[in-house]
Amino acid sequence: MSARKKSRNRRKKSLLVRFLRTPAGKVCLALLIVGFTIGALTATYYYLHFARLTDEKLATGPIGHTAVLYAAPEKVMVGDRRTMEEVVAHLRRAGYSESRRNRIGWYHLRPDAVEIFPGKDSAFPGEDAVIFFEGDRVSKIISLRDNTERTIYYLEPELITSLFNRSREKRLLVRFEDLPKHLVNAILAAEDKRFFQHAGFDPIRIIKGAYVNLKAGRIREGASTLTMQVAGDIWLDRSQRTWSRKLAEMLITLQLERKLTKEQIFEYYANQIYLGHVGSFAIHGFGQAAQAYFNKHVRDLTLPEAALLAGLPRGPGLYNPFRNPERARARRNWVLKQMLESEMISEREYAVAVESPLNVVRGATDTGEAPYFVDMVNDWLRQQFSEYDFQSHSFRVDTTLDPRLQKDAVEAMRLGLKEIDERCRRLGRTPENGWPPIQAALVALDPHTGAVKAVVGGRSYAQSQLNRALAKRPPGSVFKPFVYAAALNTAVEGGPLVFTPQTR
């Protein structure tokens, strides 16, 4: 039997050799060699092309350099009414943590004091110090540089926001080490469970996705890994859905896996991914999303908050917690379920998290980012430094904004408008009756320097970006509040009832 097979194989080989010796066989062989050579050269060309493209992007920064705005340093004085918790909260918002490896800075808590140590990436050359508290007041400040007492100490300035581009995309760049472990796990559970094991492509996921899609008769499950998403979103046009784009995505994926660590790839993903619209801004990256949805730094996210954000990439509009809270809750709980099945969280953690409310903060952009102030700074920078592209370079812009005073200004505006709205309602002057909603503006200045400390330009930045604090008005109308204030003050103090320039 084996002899017959050998004989049959020899006959086939002889037939193939005789065919290749014929003119038609020689043509086919030549075409095969030419086709293989062209294919190899084409593959090499595109591989080198995308290798060069990847190197150029990595050299300049795939996401681009984002200019960022910082508030003024926070001044702490002996005798201030301020608790230790408030100082620690400020330090955390400024990027500090209790880890000594934190390059911005770290702190250590004592029963009655907090030790502060600015790091290498601190915004200004602050000094190590200890701030002591008695109840809700600052009792003493000691410099660790020379162990002497200070009456004033300046805390690290808070990051306000990044400057948005013409597409009104906003992002706050974060590092991999800034991301809490439960957020990393939530993203992996929702998007790519084997990210740290595969080499850019996940064969198991590809086979599973193909089976699910064939069974459903339509595309229900994708097979793109986090690396493939980074390659597609940063290097390629997202609007294209062609085979050539998919091939380019695969070649760039190979380059990224070869040139970057898994942590670096994850960091790019965490800073680039689109996570919905809040107000007039497109939110990109988990750093900006934490601010926009929860008004907090990404490192302070809780487990259910992290799961909610991790569920957004598949449908930022569909799962928007402001517009579709029930869908957002269901998606969040699905992510938590995936984490439980992957043994990333315990049964108890899962049970507590799925029962948690969404806790999203409406108006976080208005209160947390001082948007009218940021617009004012943005416009001023364009006017004064038109030759600079502030949306494409890593400029650091220090401002005079006082975050605490800004939050107080927003709250004062809210309470004032609430009272005026109630008066208008009693008079029948409501939007339902054809009356426009009442608007207001507030500006707080340092009387000694003229520095702008807080700006609120309207009722809601999400509804209207017009900064009424900067709107031009007749000078007489602008001056009236000062005249009336002086008159009222004269009456209160018991001065002459007749108000004239001489009596003031």
- The helix (run of H) or strand (run of E) holding residue 221 is none
Classify residue 461 by burial, with Cβ atoms within 10 Å: 0-12, 13-18, 19+.
buried
Coil, strand or helix at 62: coil
Point out the catalytic residue in the list 74, 156, 158, 191.
191
Of the CA atoms within 13 Å of residue 135, those in its CB half-sphere come to 5
Coil, strand or helix at 107: strand
Is-catalytic flag, 477? yes
Q: Output the CA torsion sign for 301, 303, 304, 310.
A: positive
Report the alpha-carbon distance of residue 133 to residue 152 in Å, rounded: 14
462 backbone dihedrals φ, ψ, rounded to 5°: -65, -35
Classify residue 451 by burial, with Cβ atoms within 10 Å: 0-12, 13-18, 19+.
middle
Is-catalytic flag, 156? no
Instruction: For residue 310, give the amino acid letter.
Output: A
> Quick count: other Cβ atoms within 10 Å of Cβ 211?
11
- The helix (run of H) or strand (run of E) holding residue 493 is none
Tokens of 223: 């097979």
Report the alpha-carbon distance of residue 81 to residue 74 in Å, rounded: 14
Q: What is the DSSP letter of 438?
A: P
Tokens of 355: 């029962």
Q: Quick one: CA torsion of 58, 59, 63, 65, rounded to 10 degrees?
A: 160
Report the alpha-carbon distance of residue 75 to residue 451 in Å, rounded: 15
Instruction: For residue 460, give the amino acid letter.
Output: S
Q: Which regions of 368-441 does DSSP assign to beta strands (E)?
A: 396-398
Report the alpha-carbon distance of residue 109 to residue 153 in Å, rounded: 17
Report the alpha-carbon distance of residue 223 to residue 210 in Å, rounded: 8
Q: Are 77 and 92 in contact (CB under 8 A)?
A: no
Report the alpha-carbon distance of residue 389 to residue 395 in Å, rounded: 9
Report the alpha-carbon distance of residue 112 to residue 110 in Å, rounded: 5
Report the alpha-carbon distance of residue 490 to residue 150 in Å, rounded: 41
Report the alpha-carbon distance of residue 251 to residue 426 in Å, rounded: 67
**Residues with catalytic function:** 191, 477
